[in-house]
Amino acid sequence: MKILQVSDQKMGGQAGYNVFAEALANGATVFGLATGSTPISIYDAITASDLDFSNAVSINLDEYKGLPGTHEQSYRYFMNEHLFNKKPFKESYVPDGMADAATETARYERIINDNPIDLQILGLGQNGHIGFNEPDTPFDSLTHEVTLTQSTIDANARFFADENDVPRYAYSMGIGSIMKAKQILLVAYGENKADAVAAMIEGPVTEDMPASVLQRHPNVTVIVDAAAAAKLTNREEIVPFV
């Protein structure tokens, strides 16, 4: 893994932007995207740039089950607001949260297979989840319906007026689906991610820590701030981004 340490999320956005720009310049045409607060600074840097994705395809990691794309807390809505309305892609795929689970997960995996992902961006859950793949998700899993853990529900509750409104299920790329990407960019900020970052990079590869599977991928860049990197013991592998 290539580990870049940044001073703050704004600089992390610039570092992530550079990864996207380099991939695009090198011929990448399919981008796997993520939602949540972590990638927003990257999307801000992209929308402020002259990068052109009009001939590219995007494929999002996941979507809440039961929310239409017009719902303000749906991931389709999030992507429209933070990226697609300003930087449209030729085609942008997000799981249909209103569709039947078996039909939609099969359809979405076909989309991934038909459009091999050149660069996939990931966030990192405090319990090591990537996408909505919680601990003990099989490493060979494909797109599937997920029952969200209470910790994930609690983490997402801040976006909803009432915790009871937080969906309990989601559709997510599987870990096997994610690992098909040619290049992966994972971003994590804050001391609450330090344990997961250390386990992901330096711990054993185990389904108890879903992100640890990235140790088996040949092309991974990790962007962290000092707080998220605080529990890494091999400091020589960390490259300051300036």
What are the residue numbers of the active site?
A: 62, 127, 129, 134
Cross-strand partners of 187: 223
- Report the alpha-carbon distance of residue 188 to residue 199 in Å, rounded: 13
Buried b (16+ CB within 10 A) or exposed e, 5-17: bbeebebbbebbb
Starting at the earlier edge strand, list the strands of the sheet with 119-122: 91-93, 57-60, 30-33, 119-122, 183-188, 220-225, 2-6, 238-240
Question: First CA to last CA across the chain, in angstroms?
Answer: 19
Enumerate residues 6+ apart whose C-beta is below 8 A from 213: 139, 175, 179, 205
Pairing of strands 169-172, 62-64: antiparallel
237: Cα separation from own chain's centroid: 23
Pairing of strands 62-64, 30-33: unpaired
